[in-house]
Amino acid sequence: MSLFAANRNYRLLFSATAVSNLGDGISALAFPWLATLITRDPLLIAAVAAATRLPWLLFSLPAGVITDRMDRQRLMVGADVLRTVLTMGVIGLILSAPPMPLANDAAEALSLIIGLCAAAFLLGSAEVLRDNAAQTALPSVVDKQDLERANGQLWSIEQIMGQFVGPPVAGLLIALAVPAPFLVDAATFGVAAFLVWQIAMMPRVRVHTVDGFWSQLREGAVWMQGQPLILRLALMLGVLNFVIMMSATMLVLLSQEIMGLDAAGHGFLLTAGAAGGVFGGMVGPRLVRRFGAQACVLGALAIFPLPFVILALTSNAWLAGCALFLEMASGITWNVVTVSLRQRLIPDALLGRVNSIYRFFGWGSIPLGALFAGFLVTTLEGDIGREAALRTPYVFGAIVCVGLALYGALRLRLPRT
């Protein structure tokens, strides 16, 4: 019997993941597209992307302590309810603004971008708590021998809903009305909260922990310090996410100005990445069983430079879609291996804290990548032209990924699963 059919709690978690990631996929297009309706300044557009991910840098560590101290199910529900309320606030911001696209009014644009950044930051803060709790809760929903399969299915549905379905839906909704995608987004978070509330979590084994925030955080840090493989993977993920966010931040301008795509076209472009994510999520666990974790991670690292090379050179949307497919397929294969490894190795009592430290290094670089991309394009476009400047982040990313692939071949040694 399949895991989905046999485990009601997993079905509920899977369904909640699907619904909430539909909302994430809608906002993944709607937020940057809304920013381009307000301004064409790459640095301001990058600021919106950075604001969404800045909480991973600021709040990952306290989120881990909170996750281990509190009921993980309640945290997930509360975070989704909060995201519902915050998304309704974005709708209010849009309705109070002048008609879009905005006229050439720098002061009005800056005011709206600041409001959008504030909303994105708060939504990202709720996401930090929600995602850390969800990932640490999975071992309480499925048996350890099912972790690769469950993670593969969850990563796949995240890609299907978050990038395969969500962005095209967002493009169509934006064409209907600018606030429409955010209204649907708010509804998905509400449904996800209800589904998570229905899960009957396995009881956690309570163990004695030291008192005090910093003492508890130090417990997780000491454990991670004694696991050089986990620390090395976290740092490598940080570098990968830095350059991937550079790529993602400028993609909305590359799509509009060089490929000539509208909102719906850009949404369909992102579905190519989702297809790669689905492929990685479904095939990744099979590849791990056949070839082992070591070969799969090194294979993913070897593929990573290619999408950046393609995006640095092409103006063709179809080739860009192939690049996104490769990027996501290799990225999800990496995730299937490394997330399952962490869930298997880290003691449950420390899982939230160690996971948050891992994400601090691995995800904290994301807002820095977004800001660096905006700064790089803004700085270079006066000297080398707009198009060449928009392509520069992809050249930089390709070089960095080649270095990571070489480093991985020399230094990574993963245990057999």
Instruction: Report the pLDDT value the prediction gives residue 61, as an integer from 0 to 100.
Output: 82
Burial class (CB in 10 A: 0-12, 13-18, 19+), 159: buried
Q: Provide the CB-side half-sphere exposure for 24 (13 A, CA).
A: 25
Q: Is the peptide bond before 42 cis (omega within 30 degrees of 0)?
A: no
Question: CA 158 → CA 274, 280, 350, distances in Å?
Answer: 9, 12, 26
Residue 21 parent element (H or E): helix 8-38
Instruction: Report the pLDDT value the prediction gives residue 323, as an integer from 0 to 100.
Output: 96
Structure tokens at 235: 């740092």
Instruction: Report the pLDDT value the prediction gives residue 386, as an integer from 0 to 100.
Output: 92
Q: Which of 368, 382, 379, 269 is nearest to 33 (CA)?
A: 269
Question: Hey, what domains does the chain have and what are their CATH numbers?
Answer: 3-203+212-411 (1.20.1250.20)
Please list the pLDDT of the chain residue by residue as tens digits (417 residues). 566 667 888 889 889 989 988 888 888 788 888 888 888 888 888 898 889 888 888 888 888 778 877 888 889 999 999 999 999 999 999 998 887 777 666 778 888 999 999 999 999 899 888 887 887 778 778 877 777 778 778 867 877 787 778 888 888 888 888 899 999 999 999 999 999 999 887 665 554 455 677 787 888 888 888 889 999 999 999 999 999 999 988 998 999 999 998 878 888 888 888 788 778 878 888 888 888 889 999 999 999 999 999 999 999 999 999 999 999 899 988 988 888 888 788 887 787 788 888 888 888 898 899 999 999 999 999 999 999 999 999 999 999 999 999 999 999 888 875
Instruction: Report the pLDDT value the prediction gives residue 407, as an integer from 0 to 100.
Output: 96
Q: Which of 292, 324, 293, 330 is nearest to 311 (CA)?
A: 324
* Number of Cβ atoms within 10 Å of the Cβ of 206: 7
Task: Work out whether the CA dihedral 321, 323, 326, 330 comes out positive or negative.
Answer: negative
Structure tokens at 88: 């309704």
Looking at 198-346, list the stretches that DSSP marks H as alpha helix, in order from N- to C-terminal side. Answer: 213-225, 228-253, 263-291, 293-303, 305-313, 317-345
d(Cα 362, Cα 368) in Å, to the nearest integer? 12
Question: CA 35 → CA 31, 239, 414, distances in Å?
Answer: 6, 26, 42
d(Cα 16, Cα 164) in Å, to the nearest integer? 17
**pTM of the complete model:** 0.74
DSSP 71: -
